A = this chain, B = another copy of it.
């Protein structure tokens, strides 16, 4: 049994009459404990896919299954990290995490929640930053906190929508490494769907890469590296250069096609 299954999912946005079809008969599945990246150009429907998985939108057509059961609405079994607004600006870093814990496990006492929050802050390398408000943290630190909060809520499935999209190149490297490290330490392997624009990031992190275009999954790539992974080794391997080239050509083909045709969507 797959952990996640998308079966013929379509999504139509209806903005006061103007109807836009964002996903069209989409199918894919994710195994228990698998790390899957979705990559694709802007507007192809990645966030829409993730918002369905998160339970924020219901598919207009088709359905999606979690643990083999048709799923509706948000649920404690899923945790989400977005590019922005993942933290509540009015709570300090530790309060954000403790608040998440109290929501997921209402029976937790404030003291326990605070202790767990501290522990998770340490895990993401932010020991000592608990009393800072989000605005006092850099973008990278905010996303670390968001990851800590989501992990502290102990979901089985982790959904990440370009979590490092707004982080500069150097800190991005640190965060990728951190994510790999923290996930490696979790007792049970999480099932992960990770949306990104960055080809290197997708290769480094995931077991499988789904290339999305035309409102559905167009191609799949297995990532042939074993874990734990070392960045420098991967980036110098032949497999990496080939995989990267294939992924980039997916991108380019899309561009060529669009520039060739009349449709200019930038």
Contact = CB atoms under 8 A, between A and B. Distances in A.
Interface string A242-266: 0000000001101100000000111
Interface string A33-48: 0000000011100000
Interface string A139-155: 01100100000000000
Interface residues of A, number: 24
A197 B265 CA distance: 25
A170 B39 CA distance: 11
A239 to B, nearest CB: 15
Interface in A124-172: 125, 138, 140-141, 144, 168-171
A182 interface: no
A42 B171 contact: yes
A44 B118 CA distance: 30
A220 to B, nearest CB: 19
A70 interface: no
A1 interface: no
A198 interface: yes
Nearest to A125: B264
Contact of A199 (B140, B169, B198): B169
A174 interface: yes
Nearest to A169: B197
Nearest to A143: B266
Given A125-B264, A266-B144, A171 B41 contact: yes
B41 A170 contact: yes
A170 B251 contact: yes
A141 B264 CA distance: 10
Contacts of A141: 266
A199 B43 CA distance: 25
A140 B198 contact: no
A138 B169 CA distance: 22
Contact of A197 (B41, B125, B170, B197): B170
A183 interface: no
Interface string A163-195: 000001111011000000000000000000000
A255 B42 contact: no
Given A42-B170, A169-B198, A170-B254, 7 more contacts: A42-B168, A125-B264, A140-B266, A169-B197, A171-B266, A173-B251, A173-B252
Interface of A: 41-43, 125, 138, 140-141, 144, 168-171, 173-174, 197-199, 251-252, 254-255, 264-266
The 6 A-B pairs at the shortest CB distance, nearest first, are namely A140-B266, A169-B197, A41-B170, A42-B168, A168-B197, A170-B251
